[in-house]
Structure 1
Amino acid sequence: MKLLGRNQSLLTHMLDTLSSAKEIEFVRAPSMHVFLCMCLSKNVIVTHFTYMQNSALVHRGLPQLESSELCIFCCQRAASEKQLHRRIYQMQVTVPATGFNSFNYSFSNLCLLDDKNVCIIDDIIRAMEEIQSARNSNRSVPVLRYPITQLADGRQAYIGHQMGGVQGWGPGGAMRVQGMGVRGEGVRSARALQLTYYLQAPGGLMDRVASQWEKAFCAELQHFTELHPKLGLYPSTSSSLRTDFQFSSVLARRPLLASLGVCGVLVVLCCSMRDCVRSKPWLGLLALLSITLSGLTAAGILNLTGATYNSTYLGIPFVMLGHGLFGSFEMLSSWRRTREDQHVKERVASVFEDVMLRFSGSTMIHLMTLGLAASPLTNMEAVRLFCRTAALAVTISYVYMLSFYSSCLVFTGYLETGYRHGCFCRRVPKPDRLDSKPAWYRCLMYTRYQEETQVTNPPHGIGHTHTPNPDLTHTHTHPHPHTMNNPAVRGHAHVANSTHPHPHPHPHPHPHSTASMDPHPQDSHLLLGCVRRCYGDWITNTYVKPFVVLLYLVYISFGLMGFLQVTQGSDPSALVAMDTATVLYTRAQQRYFSSYSPVIGFYIYESAPYWNASVQRDLLEYAKGFQRISWLEAYLNYLSDRNQSTSQPRENFTRTLRHAFLREPQFAHFADDIIFAERGQGEEPDVAASRIFLVAKTTENKREEMSVLLDTLRRLSLTSRVRFLIFNPSFVYLDRYAAAVSSPLRHSLLAVLFLLGLSSLAVVEPLVSVWLGLTLLSVQFGVLGFMTLWGVELDCMSVLCLISALGHSADCSGPLLCGFAAGRGESRTRWVRVALERHGVPSLQTLICYGAALVPVGSIRSNLTRTLFRCLTLTAGCSALHTLAFLPTLLTFLPPSKSRGHGPGGEGQRQEVECVEMNDSTRVVDQITTV
């Protein structure tokens, strides 16, 4: 419900003392009323009246400038407005639509009534009716003033929010543009008019009738626009914001399907390689299917629990997509690092040992951030609903990854063991049988058999010679004592993992190049080959590091510049679809009705000596500079006009106020603004409380000026002799929105830091948690700063994206940090390259698919999805910069160190483990291990 005029400034907790009974009913039951507004604007230049360009409503403020052309134009525009108003009054809806009990309801049956049981209408309509009546009776036309005019009954009425684009008369009949005149200047023309119709819907049948009347109202305005194409109509009803907010989901259906298709294509490409057996395109599609099924499961659970859907949930699929793709690519990368001569069960066990600790940790970060943002500590219902649903979706996605996707990995592993094609599942012939096939067939069926690998790369033996049995496969591992006892290393098989393709996978690899670890580097994945042979050496180059550090300083500088310009997004139209009724109406309001602030209620809540001259001066000084409707100022003028002193004794001051001033017809409405408290019998009562209405002049930066005005008046209320407070419904929004928007982000960030601090006590290398925490802070700082520079305000949707950015950046950078910190020996540069190969490539694949899935979202004509697209794009970009550029460079010269943690014997003491596997037709029968 939106309140205009005097009703807009009612203070909720002072209703019992400052409002009449009907006003109490009006404010305390906001759900019982339906707010309808329309804004009329003419955007076509009237060429044959050069002095009346762009005028929708014209009023003759000066009689000496009267002309026939001006009168004709005025009558045409006024006739259109009166015709529309009459059609709205006469419009009827039938409820129920059919049946004997049907009844026709018009506006008179639904309107909100005043004290005289008359429908409440805008004062501008009364003023225009008085002007038209005077013109019809050939009487002197009353002057319409702006923003406060005087009606025929002598009452002053504020019409600043009912007329827009006003031009007044200047000296000598010159035209004065809007906002440049003095108080009460005569109106020459107005480009816009805002009419408000109040309905009462006490529930039940009347609620349904009011809803039907709203629909008929919008249909009537659309029909009227077709009849008058030069007149722009912008309706807004009580359901417009909800309808336009949900319309974003309707617009996003096809782009979301396109995102799924684009992501599916890229996932297939990222899982494919030249070797047709080791290529796993179906595994990529199954990963996407796993994410989709988890989303459908979460949606089904929400439906079963009775939860409702809203458009902010459009961000949840991307939270699931980023987290699910990270887990699937990490598992696939770990699978490709396992030994191919092992059984599928052992390879899957190695994958789980390698990946699941990190994947579970990142899932915990997601759940911690979302869970705390969904807790009662957050006072924004939209944030709580989103985070609650996202936490449920992430949990289900994690379960699907452990069950469904892992089963798919086992299935494709058996296909690989049987040398079946990755796409067609057909057994691939051996090379000697492919020689007679065409070239395209040989290219399509290219693979490497295990016999080729054994011949090309015979097993290494260190310290002994072993003659293998043809049916036996030998593997030698040489872990250090500290490696065997290091839980961090055992928990990360990518550092000390006996399943690495290289025969010596202990944490001190041979000092030859990384490419030599792969027997066929040309058969590796394209991205892995690029990172292994090109990017890893380039990013760790001594001459590149200074430029990367400089780039990070530029990143921080621009992020700080945007951070200092963060603005609170308090405009509801930023969360709805574009080109909707809400956006058009809000745009028209900002264009034509932004010259004045909302009506501010100035409440004096204690008995004050109003008869005292110093108190009168203070109150008049407080209201100075405002457009105001003040009973005190009107009463003092009333006394002055009658040659009475304004400084009278209390009894005389109060007696004249009650029995003379408030009984005048033009001042009778001030009775609602004054509350009297009885004293003793026979004594005049005191003025216990009163109110004054103020309106401030504003410019385009209306929200910022309102915040400054609010702070100024509040500071003044603390030092004033007269105890007062100021209130407007928008002040509640401005006060609570800043805390409401920032609190979930602050809580989530604290939750992540707490979780990382707690985890640092349980691992051997606490610097991993320190680096991860700094990375999350840096990514969050950059996203917040760059989104401000991109024109995104800090509203509900952007805060939700910032909360999800914490988990996404942890997914990308966490494995890289763990892989680097767990290694011992060698140089920093060496371990940075290894970490990039093993974990940078899965992160890059995730970011590529994730970024491509965001592209169709950017084409949706919605402010909500535009904010979603920009924030998530910045999240992916900042995470990519940190994972692939900043961290690999900074880790080459910053802690943790790579030279500590050796056992007492150093390189001289080793444990040699010989594992002999007995192979037959069933692949692996038994395993004999000797130490």
Structure 2
Amino acid sequence: MGDCYVRHEDRIARIFGMYGKFLERHPVKILVISITVNCLLGLGMLRLEVESGAERLYTPVNSQASKDRSFLENIYPSSSEFYAHKETADFAEVLILTKDRGNMLTSTFLDDVTSVDEFVRNSISITQSGTVYKFSDVCAKQSSACVVSGDIVLSSEFKQMMLANNITYPEFNQTSISSLFASPSASNGVLTSAIGLKLTYYLRSSYSEQWEKEFVKTIPNAVVNISELAYSYSDALDNELEENIGGDILFYSLTMTFMMTYACIATSRLNGNCIADRSLLGQAGVLAAVLSILSSFGFVSLIGVKFMSIVGVMPFLIIGIGIDDVFILMSGIADAESIEKSSVSDRISFMMRTSGIAITITSITDFLAFSIGASSVFISVRNFCIYTGVAVLFCYINQITIFSSCIVINEKRIKDNRHCVACWTRTKDKESLQMDGKTGCSLYACAGYPPKDRSDVDSPLEKYPKRLIQFVMKYLVLKIAILVIFAIYLGFSIYGVVHLDQGLSLQNLVTEDSFFYKYSMWRENYFRSEVVMSFNVKTTQTYSSSWTQGIIASILTTAKQDKDIDPSFELNWLTAFKQSALYVDTSESAFITALQTFLTNVPLYASDVVIDSSGPSITSSRFYLKTNNIPSTYDQGQMMLRMREVTANSAIPMIVYSPPFIFFEQFVEILPSTLQTVGIAIVVIIIVTILFMPHPTLIIIVGVTLFTILLGVFGFMFFWDISLSSISMIHLVMTVGFSVDFSAHICHAYLAVDADDRATKVDLSLDRSGGPIFNAAFSTLLGVSILGFANSYIFKTFGKMMFLVIFFGLAHSVLLIPTVLSFIGPLKARKVKPDEKAQLERENSKSSSSPI
């Protein structure tokens, strides 16, 4: 198997080596062409279009709920009489709570409610074309009166019953009031206490949007005495989400600055060697990654994929990937034979044969992970993965063209003894300059010599971290401690996975100082989450038939037996019609004629029956049930599925629908969609690993490492209060690719080095890839740590998920995998080269004599 791997690797390495030689011959041409292409593609950003809307982005495409909504909208026309349980509308909502969270059933509190209501009706107005519009001019109406949910508490009868301590609950005057009150308590069917109230003002006008904007500006001025307010309106979430993202632009610049500064420091030897210094080379690598961001944005915009706010985290990813590639490539050129003994062409060829393959493996795995994510049913996940997948591909191309060309130019500069900054000037080593009479600053700013081995170019940040790990790998007790720590890690991870929440809480999408955050927290913590659902007969039926009536009654009865359905609530036009004096069932025609008269007299049910007068026949009808309080998003999704099972078993075609079902869809879709996407990505990544590292032991190690890192990310999401949602799913897709990056580097380095025992191979592999892995990880961790101060939930979640995957990936690659390889790592038949073994011994002797 070892010989098989050697032959396979040699074939791949030969291709990369040939490219390296080609690159060495034409670095300037490749550099100019690549930069030009990137800039031209970047012009595509002129066609950048933005996608927004929480429903559009964060709910599944073509979900059952959206199909049902379209079907019902085509069948049931909008009525001039508005009923909140039948259709959606624009709205403005005010939550009024007592300041001390005491009982609201007092005259003083109702005075506050009256004050707020009068303020909304009379003090909030807009002017359009010289005409003033108040709430009464833009409201949705029923029987010529504006519809306000909750205004029943303003009636004289409610006040009388409150003073008599006789407010019936959960219905008052045949109206359900259970969802109106905050933290209600009842005894023997009588409301005894509540801490607040919800008022919802429904709008139906071409000026609704303008009135809503005025509402949110003006409502804080409402005067109350013993209460406080929270408020929202129809498009509040979408508008706040956009402002939320825009407010974090500062963190872009800070993060980029920190990552670029670190890349400069980590690539500088800091020993005054002005020929071997590589700090500017590190900046060139970061610039190549930045250009890939520009070109990918332009290219994806050109093909018509819309930008959305969550794509804003993509540059952090690409900079992190780019810096990882930079350190790996620079480690490869440092491992090549000394420039004094070898040509630039041979050194670049060696770099591409070793490090070029390494970054190819990780780039392919990252690209494929995002390509698979692009098939998601969530538009937010799909568009993000398209943008990021293309950026990963362009970043890889830029690294092997732009940055590698810069490495070639830098190598030729070193070969000619030219200064690292003033590259047109040849310089000498310190002793030669001293002989020329140079002293002080001149020596420090000008002296230098070509590096003889990697110790002349490795910075302290590259040298000492890997020495520490090499030190740890020498002692069995420390390796056993590592295995014990990872066993504990797995225990915590499994616990977190079992308790991980699903669903996206809307308040998490905005900042804590947003009015929508306070509103959402109050809604979630104090008010009941009840859903009114319509059970819709899809096809023409004979409603005068006792069989049809029996089927409908059976379906509703079965549904009300569910634990989450309120058995006391039912809006049923058929039952009401049968109880009226107008009911006739001698024939379908007589039934419909009498029904039309009944619907005219009782407008509450008028839009619940669709009658085809040409028949006459009833082409569709609907009936309403209500859920109990279901605060859990998981339970909401499961309730929806159970109700669909009820209608699916009906003898007549029926569908169940409620507007919140649109958002419930993500609660039932997110887990299977995430598992499917992540599962496929894992399989594809393992296949890529097989192609580049076809050794069973290494394949198993990479596969198990990938699984345990993802297990840790899933599990520690629970401890970091991150639920499984369409937003975190985006980051999970990202973690699949990142999980394999560092482990692939260390495993590839282990197979690439030659030694006759596992301890030496582990030592050599850490010497080659330990520094680049540490620096790539630390630079990314440094950058994303800034996002902990961001206002945006999207940025914060991204920062947390990136921290988890990078930290766990680093720990696996420099601690767990070397430990495992030191016990069961495969060995090659070839012997370690004498010069390489001698170099390692020199490094080890330096390590033992230098402080760690």
Q: TM bucket by the smaller chain? A: 0.7 to 0.9
1:42 to 64, 82, 97: 97
Alignment deviations for residues 583-634 of structure 1 (CA, whole Å, 9 cap, x no partner): 222112112322x421123446665738999996985575365341333797
Over 3 Å counting, the alpha-carbon distance change for 1:609 and 1:10 in structure 2 is farther
2:353 is the counterpart of 1:353: yes
Over 3 Å counting, the alpha-carbon distance change for 1:818 and 1:692 in structure 2 is same
Shift of 1:892: 1.9
1:623 to 545, 554, 560: 560
Q: What are the residue-to-residue correspondences of 1:302-701 with 2, within 5 Å? A: 302=300, 308-338=306-336, 339-341=338-340, 342-375=342-375, 378-420=376-418, 422=420, 427-431=427-431, 433-434=433-434, 447=448, 501=453, 524-530=458-464, 533-594=467-528, 596-603=529-536, 607=543, 609=546, 622-623=559-560, 625-631=566-572, 635=576, 651=586, 663=598, 668-673=603-608, 691-698=622-629, 701=631
How many percent of aligned residue pairs carry the same amino acid? 16
Alpha-carbon contact 1:146-1:186 (below 8 Å) kept = yes
2:178 to 131, 145, 160: 160
Look up the match of 2:196.
191
Q: What are the residue-to-residue correspondences of 1:118-129 with 2, within 5 Å? A: 118=144, 120-125=146-151, 128-129=154-155
Q: Which moved more, 1:756-765 or 1:863-872?
A: 756-765
Look up the match of 1:512.
none
Over 3 Å counting, the alpha-carbon distance change for 1:140 and 1:234 in structure 2 is closer
Q: Which moved more, 1:383-392 or 1:394-403?
A: 394-403
Q: What are the residue-to-residue correspondences of 1:149-298 with 2, within 5 Å? A: 149-150=172-173, 156-161=174-179, 163-165=180-182, 178-183=184-189, 185-186=190-191, 191-200=196-205, 206=206, 209-224=207-222, 227-228=223-224, 231-277=227-273, 278-298=276-296
Shift of 1:732: 4.3
Q: Which amino acid aligns with 1:877?
A: F
Over 3 Å counting, the alpha-carbon distance change for 1:380 and 1:188 in structure 2 is closer
Q: TM-score, normalised by structure 2?
A: 0.77
Shift of 1:305: 5.8
Shift of 1:400: 2.3
Shift of 1:532: 5.8
Runs of 5+ consecutive residues of structure 1 not aligned to the other structure: 46-52, 59-69, 96-101, 151-155, 167-177, 201-205, 454-500, 502-517, 913-931
Look up the match of 2:764.
834
Alpha-carbon contact 2:535-2:622 (below 8 Å) kept = yes
Alpha-carbon contact 2:507-2:516 (below 8 Å) kept = yes
Over 3 Å counting, the alpha-carbon distance change for 1:273 and 1:149 in structure 2 is same
Distance in 2, Cα, partners of 1:879 & 1:795 = 23
Alpha-carbon contact 2:428-2:449 (below 8 Å) kept = no
Shift of 1:307: 5.3
Alpha-carbon contact 2:670-2:725 (below 8 Å) kept = no
Look up the match of 2:687.
757
Over 3 Å counting, the alpha-carbon distance change for 1:664 and 1:733 in structure 2 is closer
2:125 is the counterpart of 1:91: yes
Alignment deviations for residues 252-305 of structure 1 (CA, whole Å, 9 cap, x no partner): 211221112222222122112244332322222222222223223333445556
Secondary structure of the 2:811 match is helix
Over 3 Å counting, the alpha-carbon distance change for 1:428 and 1:22 in structure 2 is farther
Over 3 Å counting, the alpha-carbon distance change for 1:549 and 1:10 in structure 2 is closer
Q: TM-score, normalised by structure 1?
A: 0.71
Alpha-carbon contact 2:414-2:450 (below 8 Å) kept = no
Alpha-carbon contact 1:363-1:398 (below 8 Å) kept = yes
Runs of 5+ consecutive residues of structure 2 not aligned to the other structure: 1-52, 56-64, 836-852
Q: Which moved more, 1:655-664 or 1:722-731?
A: 655-664
2:72 is the counterpart of 1:15: yes
Shift of 1:663: 4.6
Alpha-carbon contact 2:599-2:605 (below 8 Å) kept = no
Q: Which amino acid aligns with 1:83?
A: E
Alpha-carbon contact 1:609-1:615 (below 8 Å) kept = no
Over 3 Å counting, the alpha-carbon distance change for 1:657 and 1:589 in structure 2 is farther
Shift of 1:697: 2.7
Distance in 1, Cα, partners of 2:549 & 2:261 = 81
Over 3 Å counting, the alpha-carbon distance change for 1:898 and 1:437 in structure 2 is same
Secondary structure of the 2:476 match is coil
Over 3 Å counting, the alpha-carbon distance change for 1:732 and 1:195 in structure 2 is closer
Secondary structure of the 1:837 match is helix
Distance in 2, Cα, partners of 1:790 & 1:831 = 38
**Larger Rg computed on CA atoms:** 1
Q: Greater share of helix residues, 1 or 2?
A: 2
Alpha-carbon contact 2:709-2:809 (below 8 Å) kept = yes
Alignment deviations for residues 723-779 of structure 1 (CA, whole Å, 9 cap, x no partner): 865432333433454335642663354245235326635765355444333322222
Alignment length, in residue pairs? 759
Over 3 Å counting, the alpha-carbon distance change for 1:267 and 1:720 in structure 2 is same
Alpha-carbon contact 1:707-1:734 (below 8 Å) kept = yes
Alignment deviations for residues 874-903 of structure 1 (CA, whole Å, 9 cap, x no partner): 0111101111111101112225x215x46x
Over 3 Å counting, the alpha-carbon distance change for 1:79 and 1:619 in structure 2 is closer
1:82 to 86, 109, 117: 117
Alpha-carbon contact 2:185-2:193 (below 8 Å) kept = no
Distance in 2, Cα, partners of 1:302 & 1:9 = 27
Shift of 1:384: 1.0
Over 3 Å counting, the alpha-carbon distance change for 1:352 and 1:709 in structure 2 is closer
Alignment deviations for residues 136-175 of structure 1 (CA, whole Å, 9 cap, x no partner): xx9999975443222xxxxx333333x2226xxxxxxxxx
Alpha-carbon contact 1:369-1:749 (below 8 Å) kept = no
Alpha-carbon contact 1:611-1:650 (below 8 Å) kept = no
Distance in 1, Cα, partners of 2:280 & 2:704 = 37
Distance in 2, Cα, partners of 1:534 & 1:14 = 65
Distance in 2, Cα, partners of 1:829 & 1:743 = 43
Distance in 2, Cα, partners of 1:876 & 1:253 = 23
Over 3 Å counting, the alpha-carbon distance change for 1:296 and 1:10 in structure 2 is closer
Over 3 Å counting, the alpha-carbon distance change for 1:398 and 1:711 in structure 2 is closer
2:59 is the counterpart of 1:54: no
Q: Which amino acid aligns with 2:572?
A: W
Secondary structure of the 1:729 match is coil
Q: Which amino acid aligns with 1:780?
A: L
Q: Which amino acid aligns with 2:415?
A: T
Alignment deviations for residues 168-207 of structure 1 (CA, whole Å, 9 cap, x no partner): xxxxxxxxxx244355x3576651222132224xxxxx4x
Over 3 Å counting, the alpha-carbon distance change for 1:396 and 1:717 in structure 2 is closer
Look up the match of 2:35.
none
Distance in 2, Cα, partners of 1:618 & 1:407 = 71
Distance in 1, Cα, partners of 2:412 & 2:271 = 16
Q: Which amino acid aligns with 2:567?
A: F
Alpha-carbon contact 1:274-1:523 (below 8 Å) kept = no
Alignment deviations for residues 551-597 of structure 1 (CA, whole Å, 9 cap, x no partner): 22222222221222222223233233332232222112112322x42
Shift of 1:336: 1.6
Q: What are the residue-to-residue correspondences of 1:59-70 with 2, within 5 Å? A: none
